[in-house]
Amino acid sequence: MTTHAKRMWNAICALAEGREDVEAQTHLETCQECQKLLGEARAMFSGFAYPITAAPQALVEAAYSLMPFKSSRLRLLSGSLQLSGARAKLADDFQLLLGDDSTQFRVMYTKLPAGWQVMLSMPEAESSAWKDDSPLDSDTNNRVAFIVESLDQSDLVVVSGGVHFIIPSATEVMDVSG
Ligand SMILES: [Zn+2]
């Protein structure tokens, strides 16, 4: 690479990525060397794919910053329920306290003759709850409920304060298979 090319490379990469750079664009109109470099840069970017497992942290964070919502996958909060007790009670009604570092949800699981009712209270009025990409109706107390055949279908998503709270199924959160 010539000294000129090295000096222009950052600007050319920016152009190849589709960014505006009037000065560089004007220069390229009269510089064949840089036109060639731009072609190479475009070819490089178009064939460029990070393996997901090896994506640099900065790229992952950049991708997340473009997403309209942040998401938070909730976990079973310690001390909310004796885990062994929850496992023993899977045939009966039980509650789980799920949350992340700042938000908590108490989810109630009620055994029905066939299946389970899942119910929780949402944290604020502008929250919404979603089951399998469909919105759930909430009552006047901002509670939502739905019925599933088995506990491994008890997952849902609550959107509140611009965050997608991913609530795993009771079986997943307790790491039990049945
Ligand atoms: Zn040039």
CA of 47 to the centre of ligand 1 (A): 24
Q: How would you classify the pairing of strands 116-121 and 128-131? A: unpaired
- Provide the CA 172 distance to its chain's centre, in angstroms: 17
CA of 25 to the centre of ligand 1 (A): 10
Determine what percent of the chain is predicted with pLDDT higher than 90. Answer: 27
- pLDDT for position 59: 62
**Mean pLDDT over each residue of the chain, to the nearest integer:** 80
CA of 10 to the centre of ligand 1 (A): 12
Rounded CA separation 101/162 (Å): 16
pLDDT at 149 exceeding the cut of 50: yes
Burial of 38 per CB tally in 10 Å (0-12, 13-18, 19+): buried
CA of 19 to the centre of ligand 1 (A): 17
- pLDDT for position 27: 94
CA of 41 to the centre of ligand 1 (A): 14
Rounded CA separation 139/146 (Å): 12
pLDDT at 137 exceeding the cut of 60: yes
Could you tell me if residue 27 is left (phi over 0), alpha (psi between -120 and 50 degrees) or otherwise beta? Answer: alpha
Note the pTM of the prediction, 2 decimals: 0.57
- The larger pLDDT score, comparing residue 166 to residue 178, is at 166
Structure tokens at 115: 């299946």
CA of 22 to the centre of ligand 1 (A): 14
Cβ-contact 116, 131 below 8 angstroms: no
CA of 2 to the centre of ligand 1 (A): 10
Structure tokens at 172: 């997943």
Rounded CA separation 109/132 (Å): 18
- pLDDT for position 156: 95
- The larger pLDDT score, comparing residue 90 to residue 134, is at 134
User: pLDDT by residue (tens digit) across 50-105?
Assistant: 444 455 666 656 655 555 568 899 998 864 455 545 555 566 788 888 999 888 89
Of 17-31, 70-84, 141-155, give the lowest mean pLDDT range: 70-84
Structure tokens at 86: 């929850």
- The larger pLDDT score, comparing residue 60 to residue 144, is at 144
Q: Is 84 helix (H, G, I), strand (E, B) or coil?
A: helix
- The larger pLDDT score, comparing residue 154 to residue 14, is at 154
Rounded CA separation 131/128 (Å): 10
